[in-house]
Structure 1
Amino acid sequence: MFEFKKFSINQENCAMKICTDACIFGGYINVSQSKSILDIGTGTGLLSLMIAQRTEKTLQKPNITAVEIEKDAFLTAKQNFENSIYTDRLTIFNQSIQDFSENHFSTFDHIISNPPFFLHQSKTKNNSKNLALHSEALSFDDLLKSIDKLLSKNGKCDILLPAFEMDIFIKKAKKYSLFPQKKLIIYTRKEKEIFRVIIRFEKKNTQNKEIIENNFIIYKSKGEKDIELNRGYTEQFIELLRDFYIIF
């Protein structure tokens, strides 16, 4: 059981456990104007619960819909939702996003996803983990087709991927008239290679404009003062996740 300040995550039966980049994603994305949110591939339900907490004091609390194809992850997320104080705003479906998009006729003004990203690596013997990690279960094209159908005209879509896969995703997204608006580049430490990238996509053509770009660093570099305080996390990280992590 992973304890946050206002909710708990049971992840025992989920192939993909809670990870730092997902927590950053949930704390970072701007959902202040969102009335309906779709979480594609929810896994443990972490992102949906983080967003529910972040919007608990807003005048119009958004309804959050989660979709998860893997049965054990679906059951786990459903339990996590039901055990939270946000259960009345959370709905989950045990479907592929392809099937969901075919049968869901309303649109969302915000879509979020940390999609499978292993494009070529060999699979494991764990079928649940393969579904969570390998893009054969959900190709970027299939994901984009679903986003194109489910995103409202003025909607926003946030995607979390490694840098190489994000470059591929950006190129494919143009075919669906989805263009980057804002980029967050995540580093484990400032001297390291890029760890993950978060990009906000909208149906606004920015091909000839510079998108807003910011850097985010998780850990202080070795040798920096007080590195042992707060387990060596940067102030940037602490401030982002102060409302969630018990250690802060």
Structure 2
Amino acid sequence: MINRFRGTMDEWDPAFLDHIAAGRHVIIFDNAGVARSGGKAPARMSDWATNAAKFIEALGHRQVDVLGFSFGGLVAQELTLQRPELVRKLIIVGSGAGYVEGANLRAKAIEVATKPANTDEDFLYLFFKETPASQAAGREHLARLRLRADAFAERVSEKAWKAMLSAGSDVGTPDTSLLRRVGSIRQPVLIANGNEDVMIPTYQSYALAQTIPNARLIIYPDSGHAFMFQYPKEFGDEVLRFLGAVDQP
């Protein structure tokens, strides 16, 4: 699993991880220069993908299934394009192509996401829909994260998250959008999002699904960027079905 902008291992919801881990071997990690990991966070998207590939190979894996969330979804696509032999199936959640005409990051979302420190209210705005049910689910998600005694022992440094911003800009124009390249991805791909993502507009998920040849798209109701933490069992079941499905020749 490749994480989001400013995300660490501590921010994967245990309800989501545990559900998938009941049927699959799940690996989470902090990429180079992020939180608990040493090294330097790179300023180029290609280097984030290269570092992920090095991590996979250091563990002794020749091929893996990859789930990328938000910024991690961009890295996962770049990894699949760079090293297609390493990726069996790809899951892209709450993410997009970097640039899609008419469906790009909102100024308010960027402003909130790049505050020196985020409050719970900031997180609920960015990751959950502004409805009672979604906001309540967001608060339950935050409460689950805090059950671990050592939760958030290490945060993403300003230097590292600014490197993430720089890397994201590599796919942030019409000429550099991942839409120009992802048509060559031949792996089975599952794309999913909430129906109102204020971080990466949901239409970017549609654009990816239209461009990647072997992709399917799921949109969850009354939810936003972190829909999978609002629907951990429902989406966990979809992930397990997708990964367990036999590919047709």
- Assess same fold via TM > 0.5: no
Give the TM-score normalised by the residue count of structure 1: 0.37
Give the TM-score normalised by the residue count of structure 2: 0.36
Q: Which has the higher helix share?
A: 2
Q: Which has the higher strand share?
A: 1
